[in-house]
Amino acid sequence: MALDHIRKFLVSSLLMTATVTASAETFVFTAIPDEDETKLVERFRGVADYLSEELDAEVRYIPVKSYAAAVSAFRNNQVQLAWFGGLSGVQARRLVPGSEAIAQGVEDEAFETYFIANTSTGIEPADDFASLEDQLRDKTFTFGSKGSTSGRLMPEFYIRDTFGDAPEDVFSRVGFSGNHTRTLRLVEAGTYQVGALNFQVWQKELGDGNIDTDAVEVIWKTPAYPDYQWTIRGDVDERFGDGFKDRVKQALLNLDDPALLESFPRSGFIPASNDDYEPIRKTAEEIGILD
């Protein structure tokens, strides 16, 4: 009897230890590096603090160096949640069956890319992209990251669709800056004559007084398309408890801290689904970015 009692005690202790360990497991998220790293760290540490309080769990943000690294971290379960762009989200969800887009910014339903030019080019803003063809040909041009929706996928689509040529055949030199802020600075400085970037970054930098409008201006705006979203792995309920995915989603939808929202910048978050990003998937396949 004494041995049975000891065995029961040990089993009970092990179960209690396992429960404590599971509940103490850290929920980790990342984000595509679409802006300067210092801005991203400040923004997402704030999100981590907010989620920790809302979920009553330890939540940690880890930065990554590239869009591809964000997708890889999600695929390898190093992170369970990620703030992706439209394209990187599509890529990640294809690699992790069961994963879901759960929330997007209010502004992400109808996102835009801005084409910008150094004013020394003499290119005048236009509503019709086709009318800019003669002025754009043989200029130097920079995208953002190779994995960016607003900084690469959509501008490349419109270049190919409108001019009938690949970017390399339209421009004298094509580069990839790495992020939207850097695209803005390179075109502003004249390192590249033309570039394409996220309209939210342009508007935020303009509002903060960080753009020399005598040196760079917007010359064309794309039609609207769906972009950024929060994507979560499908196995989080198994790992963190029943209903955890819904709790994360609700926490994101409830986020209303003005300073934190402004850092994105977004006015709030709304529900999203995988189906919302079908236009991005189809566009990526059409121009050969997504196999």
Q: Above 50 in pLDDT, residue 21?
A: no
3-state secondary structure 108-166: HHHECEEEEEEHHHCCCCCCCHHHHHHHHCCCEEEECCCCCHHHHHHHHHHHHHHHCCC
pLDDT digits (tens, 9 = 90+) for 185-229: 999 999 999 999 999 999 999 999 999 999 999 999 999 999 999
* Residue 66 near residue 33 (C-beta atoms within 8 A): yes
Identify whether the C-beta of residue 197 lies closer than 8 Å to the C-beta of residue 184: yes
Q: Determine the Cα–Cα distance for residues 268 and 254; give it in Å rounded to an integer.
A: 8
Contact between 247 and 229 (Cβ < 8 Å)? no
Check: pTM over 0.85? Answer yes or no: no
* 230-263: pLDDT as tens digits: 999 999 999 999 999 999 999 999 999 999 999 8
Is residue 69 scored above 50 in pLDDT?
Answer: yes
Q: Which residues pair with 225 in a beta bridge?
A: 111
Mean pLDDT of 78-101: 97
Q: DSSP assignment, residue 276? A: G
* Tens digit of each residue's pLDDT (9 = 90 or more) over 121-175: 999 999 999 999 999 999 999 999 998 999 999 999 999 999 999 999 999 999 9
Phi/psi at 225 (nearest 5 deg)? -155, 160
- What the chain holds in terms of domains, given with CATH numbers, is 2-109+227-278 (3.40.190.10), 112-221 (3.40.190.10)
Query: How large a percentage of the chain has pLDDT more than 70?
Result: 91
pLDDT band (50, 70, 90) for residue 79: very high
Three-class DSSP category at 229: strand
Reply yes or no on whether the pLDDT at 28 is more than 60.
Answer: yes
- Best CA proximity match to 85, nearest among 96, 70, 75: 70
Quote the CA–CA distance of 174 and 70 in Å, as a whole number. Answer: 24
Name the residue with tokens 């990187």. 88
Task: Report the alpha-carbon distance of residue 275 to residue 171 in Å, rounded.
Answer: 34
Give one DSSP letter per residue of 167-194, joined into a string: HHHHSSEEEE-SSHHHHHHHHHHTSSSE
